[in-house]
């Protein structure tokens, strides 16, 4: 079935953000047709949750495409309308199992030219690892905190640092972790005031929330 493509080209004009393309449930043909349309409009193609098979097909079609296998993201072209800011985003991650979501957020921010750094493996199970890097983390203007299991990292960071904090529950863990639901409920129930909570594994959404904050305080 050849369905019409309804890419939201007016999104940048309305809210200053370009539409990302969800790759998991689209065929390679759909992804190719959407990419062609987006590139014709001189916009950047940012595909999230794309597997290696689909990515390799698009890499053969578009020589300028870049695929980050760890993040399951593919980028074609460049964002010609970056955000010019001195503000920085720190992405704090509980463990290496959170890497895909952490890198999805980092790539999404880098497309807009936002300076960011990921701090990996600083979860609460080894709290000294977080404390050892806390001084540097505190130099960032907005923080994204990714954690699975019980998701306590966001509460700890929120109790120590004053920046806007965007918490991302990760679908990592077994048993009652319930594919990230426990981390989500923990973050929603956080006793650290003012934490913003995204949906499970939504690294891209967290990056866009950080970008909205930066554009307001820039």
Over residues 63-107, the pLDDT tens digits come to 899 999 999 999 999 988 888 899 999 999 988 888 999 999 999
Tally of domains within the chain: 2
For residue 4, is it within any domain? no
pTM of the prediction? 0.92
Count of C-beta atoms within a 10 Å radius of residue 217 = 11
For residue 1, is it within any domain? no
For residue 171, is it within any domain? yes
Residue 102 sits in the same domain as residue 181: yes
Last residue of some domain: 45, 76, 107? 76
Last residue of some domain: 37, 56, 76? 76
Residue 52 sits in the same domain as residue 143: no
Query: HSE-up of 40 (CA within 13 Å, CB side)?
Result: 8
From the centroid of its chain, how far is CA 167? 11
**What are the C-alpha distances in Å from 217 to residues 5, 8, 108, 170?**
35, 26, 19, 28
For residue 83, is it within any domain? no
For residue 82, is it within any domain? no
Residue 126 sits in the same domain as residue 185: yes
Residue 141 sits in the same domain as residue 178: yes
The structure tokens listed for 217 are 């305080």
Q: Which of 55-59, 121-125, 186-190 has the lowest mean pLDDT?
A: 121-125
């Amino acid at each position: 079935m050849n369905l019409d493509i309804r890419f939201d080209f007016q999104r940048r004009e309305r809210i200053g953000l370009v539409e990302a393309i969800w790759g998991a449930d689209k065929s390679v043909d759909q992804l190719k047709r959407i990419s062609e349309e987006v590139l014709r409009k001189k916009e950047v193609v940012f595909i999230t949750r794309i597997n290696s098979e689909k990515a390799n097909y698009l890499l053969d079609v578009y020589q300028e495409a870049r695929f980050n296998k760890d993040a399951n993201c593919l980028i074609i072209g460049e964002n010609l309308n970056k955000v010019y800011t001195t503000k920085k985003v720190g992405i704090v991650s509980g463990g290496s199992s959170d890497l895909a979501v952490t890198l999805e957020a980092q790539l999404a921010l880098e497309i807009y030219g936002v300076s960011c750094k990921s701090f990996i493996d600083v979860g609460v199970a080894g709290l000294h690892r977080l404390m050892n890097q806390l001084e540097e983390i505190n130099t960032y203007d907005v923080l994204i905190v990714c954690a699975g299991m019980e998701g306590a990292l966001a509460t700890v960071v929120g109790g120590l640092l004053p920046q806007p904090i965007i918490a991302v529950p990760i679908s990592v863990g077994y048993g009652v972790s319930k594919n990230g639901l426990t981390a989500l409920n923990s973050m929603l129930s956080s006793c650290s005031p003012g934490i913003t909570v995204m949906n499970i594994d939504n690294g891209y959404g967290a990056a866009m929330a950080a970008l909205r904050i930066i554009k307001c305080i820039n």
